[in-house]
Structure 1
Amino acid sequence: MKKIALLSLFWMLVIACAGHAANEVSANEPQGDGYVITGKVSFPLSKAKVQLWKIQDNKLVPVDSAGLDKNNMFTFKGTVKEPDFYVLNFYNTQKVLIVLENKNLTVNVDGNKPTGAVSMSGTPAMDDLQKVTTWMNEAQQKVGALQKEMQEAALSKSESGRRNVEKKLNHMREENLKQFKSIVSQMQPGLSQWYALNTGVLNPEEEYKYLLPIVTNIKKSMATSKYAKEIDGYAAQLEEFSKALQVGQNAPEIALNDTDGNVLKLSSLRGKYVLIDFWASWCGPCRMENPNVVRIYNKYKDKNFEIFGVSLDREKKDWLGAIEKDQLTWKHVSDLKFWSSEGAKAYGVRSIPATYLIDPNGKIIAKNLRGESLEAKLGEILGEAK
């Protein structure tokens, strides 16, 4: 699923700026019907100003600027027509996403580095945004550390080291998902919760049952918002996912050209356990997962198991090049139609990698298994290979 357009602008801003609380100051008492933003900068730059930007038409538009007083504090005052996403820019070093409405807000920052500490408060939306961005920054740091371990294991060609890090990553993904869902469930319906759903942490295709009631409440609370149309579209896609192929259903036929230009049907593999693997040469996560798939395939290929790779590539040379480079020795097909692939349409695939495991009778028995979870499922079905 495509994320809302504004995220392309401020997604990395938020990841960079979230952190533990800085030295806090309290907001002033409400003044009139507008907003008041107050805050303190721990490490200010001489004569530099803090800028307030609005996110408009997928661009950052300057709204106001403010200098710091002798206590390194800044203040913005004004009015907004409706709650919306804005960005506070501290000397082009630290940028902070906020939800601005006609209330009093407090934003305290480090101001010295992109990952400097931030504390936001004043409204339920800001409290929620603080929780989300803080969690995401911490999660990113943990995942980054494990990815570094994975690279070191790959360089040292340590199979045991790689497997150990892979287990850690899988466990972390599961824990991160639980933690993030817990945070989102406790948020109030509104802009901050809508932002959280569009960060990419939750896969709508896999989490539609969890997301549908949340999005329904967001729709009600933001019925007159500028984002109402986007929210309606998101909800409609969740409804589509709810009608998509599920475990227990028969796998639709796929009949596409193989690497030699001959039509290969999925049904020709009937009688085997088959992993349908939707991927592409341009898909980074797919290519990162391929070494795991190769290892698992070599482990179970002699135990009535086959892989049916469906590529969403556009150029045959790219498709074949990736197959050769990644040493993917199983069955491959593609119509080279990118996201318009007939195979992807038949399975409702909207993001990759995506996998479907089918039994010898052509029935779907699992979806979106990767790494350790795929290996565990095959071990359960086929027994541990020697």
Structure 2
Amino acid sequence: MRSIFICSALLIISCSTKEKPTTSISGTINGLAQSFILLSKVDNVQEKKTTVIDTLQVQENGTFQSKNLQAPAIYTLTFNNKKTMQLAIDKNQAVVIEGSHLDSLNVTGSKDSELLLAYETFRKESLNRLVYAVRKEISTLKKEQASEQKITELRALEIENYNKHLAELTVFIEEKMGTSIAIYPTSIRWNGENLASYKNIVANFKAAHPNIEITSKLEKRVELLQKTAVGSYVSSIEMPLKEGTIITLNSVKKTYTLVDFWASWCPPCRTESAMLNTLYNTYHSKGFEIYGISLDSKKQRWLDALEKDNRVWPNVSTVEGFKSAVAIEYGITALPTNFIINEEGKIIASNIHGEHLKAFIEDLF
């Protein structure tokens, strides 16, 4: 009798045990009836690589659902091939998305996704306040046919404010995001200027998540930034000139060389061309060189910019934009970006522009 009772008790316990929680996404969006949503997993935020893992059918009442997702991971939802939403989902989180239309969606059930959305809201506000406001002023001055000197000053301010913008984002991560996996998507905007902060952020993240794939990716991001930090040595660069001839950085570098990442579509880059011309004409004979690397994706635009801006120093490009191997290797995510190296290839300064760059080169010579 005793053994029968034990077996019966175990059966009762087994039957009453709750189902193991799973990671899922569900929602109800009014006006989205009988459409579809592409669900993708982000494989690499730096290279913008994603894999579509499911197509969610939206029911007549606007509901949709996907269960048993891999976590922790970063996902994107693309609604009707138009709006895309990024989500940071940790294990055992049931994400719920609700709204009356695509421009006003509320996300619950995932503190990580909520942090990522809060970061995005702050990022846009910071960018508008520090960068877009300056661009708007430049646009107004152009219509008023203001002096080129004033516009050049504002372009320099735009670059300076963008760096302030990145610093604000770093503070947001440090103060608001803790060790959330939502940190991973923010790493696409990390740069060498705030490297010490990122090292600390990743160290804390690793302590909380020692064995997940995202930790490894964050560590690699920091390692990449370390390679281009002041005091490090640049790796060899071999890229084609406009004629197709391969020219290496090592073959042209002089006493001091400015490695300049730019593009025809980057207004601050184009404005800086005039000052680079002055520096080149003044100091080239004394041992100054510029190795320009265009991240254009359309060759003719690159060639037109070279001619119009009179960029007579070595200029190279694979015309692959930010997907070029050198952009990935050097962790370039924004333009203009530059490094000043000595004849041994050691980085002695980075990301200085405008009058600061002019003063730095003058001091060198």
**Fold-level similarity (TM above 0.5):** yes
Say which SS state the counterpart of residue 105 (structure 1) adopts: strand
Q: CA RMSD in A?
A: 5.0
Residue of 41, 44, 49 corresponding to 1:55 = 41
Tell me which amino acid in the other structure corresponds to 2:290. G
Map 1:14-25 → 2, pairs under 5 A: none
**Residue 107 of structure 1 aligns with which residue?**
97
Deviation at 1:179, TM superposition (A): 1.6
Distance, in Å, in 2 between the alignment partners of 1:324 and 1:366 is 28
Map 1:265-280 → 2, pairs under 5 A: 266-267=253-254, 274=256, 276-279=258-261
Q: 5+ unaligned residues in a row in structure 1: which ranges?
A: 1-29
Map 1:1-386 → 2, pairs under 5 A: 33-35=21-23, 37=25, 39=27, 41=29, 44-45=30-31, 47-49=33-35, 51=37, 53-55=39-41, 58-67=50-59, 69=61, 74=63, 76=65, 78-100=67-89, 101-109=91-99, 111-112=101-102, 116-142=103-129, 143-144=131-132, 146-154=134-142, 156=145, 158-163=147-152, 165-185=154-174, 186-198=176-188, 201-203=189-191, 205-225=192-212, 227-228=213-214, 231-232=215-216, 235-236=219-220, 238-239=222-223, 241-242=225-226, 246=230, 266-267=253-254, 274=256, 276-279=258-261, 283-284=263-264, 288-295=268-275, 297-298=277-278, 307-312=288-293, 322-328=305-311, 332-333=313-314, 349=330, 351=332, 353-357=336-340, 365-375=348-358, 377=360, 381=363
Distance, in Å, in 1 between the alignment partners of 2:253 and 2:220 is 30
Distance, in Å, in 2 between the alignment partners of 1:177 and 1:34 is 36
Distance, in Å, in 1 between the alignment partners of 2:73 and 2:227 is 33
Distance, in Å, in 2 between the alignment partners of 1:245 and 1:376 is 21
Distance, in Å, in 2 between the alignment partners of 1:313 and 1:169 is 20
**Contact map agreement 2:22 2:93 (CA 8 A) in 1:** yes
Deviations 1:3-35 (A, max 9, x none): xxxxxxxxxxxxxxxxxxxxxxxxxxx986135
Tell me which amino acid in the other structure corresponds to 1:276. L
Q: Which has the larger radius of gyration?
A: 2
Mark the CA change 1:50 to 1:364 in structure 2 (over 3 Å): closer, same or farther: closer
**Contact map agreement 2:228 2:347 (CA 8 A) in 1:** no
**Contact map agreement 2:41 2:53 (CA 8 A) in 1:** yes
Distance, in Å, in 2 between the alignment partners of 1:258 and 1:52 is 41
Deviation at 1:310, TM superposition (A): 1.2
Distance, in Å, in 2 between the alignment partners of 1:84 and 1:236 is 17
Deviation at 1:207, TM superposition (A): 3.7
Distance, in Å, in 1 between the alignment partners of 2:236 and 2:21 is 61
**Contact map agreement 1:279 1:286 (CA 8 A) in 2:** no
Q: Aligned residues: percent identity?
A: 17
Mark the CA change 1:375 to 1:68 in structure 2 (over 3 Å): closer, same or farther: farther
Deviations 1:342-382 (A, max 9, x none): xx99xx85547543447999986532212354246468x49
Q: 5+ unaligned residues in a row in structure 2: which ranges?
A: 1-17, 44-49
**Residue 11 of structure 2 aligns with which residue?**
none
Mark the CA change 1:284 to 1:239 in structure 2 (over 3 Å): closer, same or farther: same
Distance, in Å, in 2 between the alignment partners of 1:178 and 1:246 is 18
Tell me which amino acid in the other structure corresponds to 2:350. K
Distance, in Å, in 2 between the alignment partners of 1:250 and 1:35 is 44
**Residue 15 of structure 1 aligns with which residue?**
none
Q: Structure 1 length normalisation: TM-score?
A: 0.61
Distance, in Å, in 2 between the alignment partners of 1:46 and 1:350 is 39
Mark the CA change 1:224 to 1:323 in structure 2 (over 3 Å): closer, same or farther: same
Q: How many residues align?
A: 323
Tell me which amino acid in the other structure corresponds to 1:96. M
**Contact map agreement 2:24 2:95 (CA 8 A) in 1:** yes
Q: Structure 2 length normalisation: TM-score?
A: 0.64
Deviations 1:96-116 (A, max 9, x none): 22234433334344525xxx2
**Contact map agreement 1:297 1:307 (CA 8 A) in 2:** no
Distance, in Å, in 1 between the alignment partners of 2:233 and 2:82 is 54
Distance, in Å, in 2 between the alignment partners of 1:320 and 1:98 is 40
**Contact map agreement 2:115 2:182 (CA 8 A) in 1:** yes
**Contact map agreement 1:294 1:328 (CA 8 A) in 2:** no
**Contact map agreement 2:94 2:110 (CA 8 A) in 1:** yes
